[in-house]
A and B are shown apart, each in its own frame.
Chain A
């Protein structure tokens, strides 16, 4: 069976870096699922079926963590002893917060007006912002290995990602 005590990168046969080949990650994921998925154990006994479900769920969880760039950065930092999730430390730079407050207001206005196109444009803008920040994060993590410097960058990205998801939810609600 698969050794789930190893870290997610090792599980998929990847080097523990922020920049990963999505193609390699996808291929490794499919290969692992092909061997553990419950569909392969339909006629097996109860304990083998339970083990298959648990293994398959673990592979899904590992894949989900690494497939999302922010999740991957958080996981990489955790491997290096840096926790981005601690609630007490919520200090984000003031200029960042001001910029996001303005964005939130635009989102709220557009939502109240039911302006789907405006919401779409805002989400698109935020995702472009996210993409450029991810490029900077890649340098910080992979070239500089500056884990502490990466921490606020990841937190800002998480914030932006949440905002983009909220916009999606608003659009979905307007469109019914």
Chain B
């Protein structure tokens, strides 16, 4: 259903020149897609009217499902149902502190974490791409045109590896990434433009698995991020987990199966959501053992068991304010973003910290996607004139390893992007001809406390005495917050320009393989659809034949009748299997067997119709 495109004031005057641009919030718990239509950003619901797509991917026996369908089977098939995959983006297995908390079959080995599923070994990038693809298809089916480009949001505190993984996933899903946009900044756009605000704003964004705090200065169409801080492993999921642990204790439960664990995690989540509006929440479940769980969680207990998590979010808030050289009283407004900020204890703690009421009049689940859609509309060139400008920052310092396992910072955190910064280093030994460059991200002094992003070598340095070579290392961070590093020796001009792919990222070869896989899966998808269509056609034909036999069996000889019955039986048998080709053949056989019957029925009905009319009327 292609919709009519209507040009509006302030928008591009030529409707045909408008590009379909979307904002995508790829969330830990839910993902959304939004676009600007007729000057208003709207979240696009699925065919059943759900705006939120649960970020859950199920690798089933026959097909991969995403969202609500995948959620239904998570307790039945936990190993092949991946939830909260965002937590694994750009991470190695070693980064996951308690991998036993997850029911997945992690694959051992270095590099990016991988999960063994029924459909093969999957990386978080591939799993996220399934979610993004589902959203892209939702939009393209809705508007009947391809998506020109997408702004995909990431937590502000995502490091280079996590950002690169997100961009790779979007490209794998067939999206042209206009920009990676920080989630709190996206929320600020949605709020700032609505309210025409000026001054210092704090965006407190507690999602399903990540926490961000950004301090922004809004002035005359410029959104300038002054500082950002956060925790990429803290979110609503952790509150669920605290409730889950409480249920285990309260109901005196021993070790559980993966399915029961998932079931109780779902119950924990429901209880948490219930407590937003109620003073207590019952937790009732029947385990696979047949044991009953029946306990009641009060709001008071919930506040107690999650107090440390709430406090944990305030550390980064203080850090961001300190980096921006501001105090809580300088903040003119505090915007609450993310479904987890619905929890009353969060609202209370944040309001108390800033000493003011909070801004939460926009839906905390949708505000990021809405802001991203508004920005996508601008970046795609669909507006003219009064545009605003976003000036964002990198969340973590970038540097390289120097002697003694120490980190030398080259680009400090909260530098406005894009940024290019160079620093000179020299050789350590006489006659040294190569230099290893180890790129790091993080705030700590010691290399082992920072994230390793890449290693590369500058070779061919002419032999000189120690300290004579001048090696200039240049860091460049683009507007997506992605890093590239190059090095050259100044006296001779020896170059080693390397676009850094993070150690935990994917090589171009990986991406190529995944694209090929997704094409072959596309072929699988097509075959599955064709089988489904043939099945529907077969069932329709069986029903039509049975109905014809019930009415007009007298038109057939006994031999003809036997032939039809046999053909019907063959179709029914093959219908139970998965062989589309055999089914099509059987269906053709049935159609052939019923040709004579169809012709005679046609003649009979024509004769019956004519019987009631006068000959004159036919003239």
Most chain B C-beta atoms within 10 Å of own C-beta, residue among A57, A168, A169: A57
For A123, the closest partner residue in chain B by CB is B322
What is the bound-complex CA distance between A63 and B219, given in angstroms?
Answer: 17
Is the CB–CB distance between B378 and A57 below 8 Å?
no
Which of A30, A34, A42 lies in contact with B179, CB distance below 8 A? A42
What is the bound-complex CA distance between A33 and B417, given in angstroms?
Answer: 11
Is the CB–CB distance between A30 and B178 below 8 Å?
no
What is the bound-complex CA distance between A30 and B220, given in angstroms?
Answer: 10
Given known contacts A39-B378, A39-B479, is B419 in contact with A61 (CB within 8 Å)?
yes
What is the bound-complex CA distance between A37 and B179, given in angstroms?
Answer: 13
Residue A80 at the chain B interface, CB threshold 8 Å = no
Residue B506 at the chain A interface, CB threshold 8 Å = no
- Count chain A residues whose beta carbon lies closer than 8 angstroms to a beta carbon of B: 23
Interface string of B416-444 (1 = CB under 8 A from A): 11111100000000000000000000010
Most chain A C-beta atoms within 10 Å of own C-beta, residue among B378, B389, B418: B418
- Closest chain-B Cβ to A167's Cβ sits at a distance in Å of 10
Is the CB–CB distance between B380 and A42 below 8 Å?
yes
What is the bound-complex CA distance between A60 and B419, given in angstroms?
Answer: 7
Given known contacts A37-B389, A175-B319, A176-B315, is B479 in contact with A56 (CB within 8 Å)?
yes
What is the bound-complex CA distance between A42 and B375, given in angstroms?
Answer: 12
Is the CB–CB distance between B319 and A60 below 8 Å?
no
Residue A163 at the chain B interface, CB threshold 8 Å = no
Is the CB–CB distance between B319 and A53 below 8 Å?
no
- Closest chain-A Cβ to B417's Cβ sits at a distance in Å of 8
Most chain A C-beta atoms within 10 Å of own C-beta, residue among B323, B419, B476: B419
What is the bound-complex CA distance between A176 and B390, given in angstroms?
Answer: 29
Given known contacts A43-B380, A172-B322, A175-B315, is B479 in contact with A38 (CB within 8 Å)?
yes
What is the bound-complex CA distance between A89 and B380, given in angstroms?
Answer: 53
Residue A106 at the chain B interface, CB threshold 8 Å = no
Is the CB–CB distance between A60 and B416 below 8 Å?
yes
Interface string of B317-346 (1 = CB under 8 A from A): 011001100000000000000000000000
Most chain B C-beta atoms within 10 Å of own C-beta, residue among A34, A42, A53, A64: A42
Residue A145 at the chain B interface, CB threshold 8 Å = no
Within 8 Å CB of B457, what residues of A? none
Within 8 Å CB of A139, what residues of B? none
Given known contacts A30-B222, A53-B478, A57-B420, is B390 in contact with A39 (CB within 8 Å)?
yes
Residue A171 at the chain B interface, CB threshold 8 Å = yes
Within 8 Å CB of B149, what residues of A? 42
For B420, the closest partner residue in chain A by CB is A57
Is the CB–CB distance between B318 and A169 below 8 Å?
no
Is the CB–CB distance between B319 and A172 below 8 Å?
yes
Is the CB–CB distance between A53 and B318 below 8 Å?
no
What is the bound-complex CA distance between A105 and B416, given in angstroms?
Answer: 34
Residue B258 at the chain A interface, CB threshold 8 Å = no
For A54, the closest partner residue in chain B by CB is B420
For B379, the closest partner residue in chain A by CB is A42
Within 8 Å CB of A57, what residues of B? 418-420, 476
For A167, the closest partner residue in chain B by CB is B322
For B375, the closest partner residue in chain A by CB is A39
Is the CB–CB distance between A39 and B416 below 8 Å?
no
For A56, the closest partner residue in chain B by CB is B418
- Closest chain-B Cβ to A86's Cβ sits at a distance in Å of 14
Residue B381 at the chain A interface, CB threshold 8 Å = yes
Within 8 Å CB of A42, what residues of B? 149, 178-179, 379-381
Within 8 Å CB of B549, what residues of A? none
- Closest chain-A Cβ to B527's Cβ sits at a distance in Å of 37
What is the bound-complex CA distance between A42 and B417, given in angstroms?
Answer: 15
For A120, the closest partner residue in chain B by CB is B322
Residue B415 at the chain A interface, CB threshold 8 Å = yes
Residue B310 at the chain A interface, CB threshold 8 Å = no
Interface string of A138-176 (1 = CB under 8 A from B): 000000000000000000000000000000110110011
Is the CB–CB distance between B379 and A39 below 8 Å?
yes
Within 8 Å CB of A30, what residues of B? 219-220, 222, 389
For B391, the closest partner residue in chain A by CB is A33
Which of B381, B420, B443 lies in contact with A43, CB distance below 8 A? B381
What is the bound-complex CA distance between A168 and B319, given in angstroms?
Answer: 9
What is the bound-complex CA distance between A64 and B315, given in angstroms?
Answer: 27
Is the CB–CB distance between B443 and A169 below 8 Å?
yes
Is the CB–CB distance between A38 and B391 below 8 Å?
no
Within 8 Å CB of A38, what residues of B? 418, 478-479
What is the bound-complex CA distance between A43 and B378, given in angstroms?
Answer: 11
Beyond contacts A39-B379, A43-B379, A43-B381: 16 other A-B pairs, Cβ-Cβ < 8 A, are A30-B219, A37-B389, A39-B479, A42-B149, A42-B381, A56-B418, A56-B479, A57-B476, A60-B415, A60-B416, A60-B419, A61-B420, A63-B416, A168-B322, A169-B443, A172-B443
Chain B interface (Cβ within 8 Å of chain A)? 149, 178-179, 219-220, 222, 312, 315, 318-319, 322-323, 378-381, 389-391, 415-421, 443, 476, 478-479
Q: List 23 A-B contacts (CB under 8 A).
A: A30-B219, A30-B220, A30-B222, A30-B389, A33-B389, A37-B391, A38-B479, A39-B379, A39-B479, A53-B418, A53-B476, A53-B479, A57-B420, A57-B476, A64-B415, A64-B416, A169-B443, A171-B322, A172-B319, A172-B322, A172-B443, A175-B315, A176-B312
State the 7 A-B residue pairs at the shortest beta-carbon distance, nearest first. A38-B479, A57-B420, A42-B379, A57-B418, A175-B315, A60-B416, A53-B418
